[in-house]
Amino acid sequence: MSDEKGANMRCERLDVWKRSCRLSVEVYKLFSDSKDFGFKDQITRSSLSIASNIAEGLEKESSKEKIRYIEIAKGSGAELITQTYIGIEIGYIDKNTGMSWVKEIKELLRMLGSLKKNYAE
C-alpha cells in the first residue's frame, strides 16, 4: 500500500473514491448493531459496491471496461439512495442523516458521470 506510484493506487487519488469510502464507513457504523440482517446486508453491500467498483474499474485495461465498472458503481449508488429512503421511512435511519446521505450519493453520481465522460472521449 505504500507504493503511491503503483497502478493499484490510482483510485486513491480520486475524490469520488475517497468520498464513497467514507460514506460506506458511515453506513457500516450505523448498521453495525442492526438485527435486521437482510436490510443490513443490502444497504452495506450497495454502499461498499460504489468504491469497490470504482477501484476495480480503474484497474481494467480498456476504456470500455472502465466505463462498465463506473456504470456498476452508479447503479449501486441508485440502490443506496432507494435503500436510504426506505431506511428513513421504516425508522432505521434518522431523516437528517438519510437526507445527508442522499445528497452525498447524488453528488457521487454526478462525479461518476464526469469520470465516465473522461474515459468515453
Q: If you search the block for the grid coordinates 480498456, which residue do you land on? A: 62
Q: What is the pTM of this model?
A: 0.89
At 121 the pLDDT is 74
Q: Name the stretches of the chain with pLDDT < 70.
A: 1-9
- Give per-residue pLDDT as tens, 1-26: 333 334 445 888 999 999 999 999 99
- The whole-number pLDDT of residue 48 equals 98
Domain that holds residue 104: 7-120
Radius of gyration in angstroms for the set of CA atoms belonging to the chain, rounded to a whole number: 15
Q: What is the pLDDT of residue 86?
A: 98
Q: What is the pLDDT of residue 120?
A: 84
- The CATH code of the domain that includes 36 is 1.20.1440.60
Report pLDDT for 66: 94
Within a domain: 38? yes
Q: Is residue 2 a part of any domain in this protein?
A: no
Question: Which letter, b or e, does each residue of 89-108 get, where b requires 16 or more Cβ atoms within 10 Å of its Cβ?
Answer: eeebbeeeebeebbebbeeb
Q: Is 91 left (phi over 0), alpha (psi -120 to 50) or beta?
A: left
Residue 47 lies in a domain: yes
Q: Distance between CA atoms of 49 and 119, rounded to whole angstroms?
A: 20
Residue 1 lies inside a defined structural domain of this protein: no
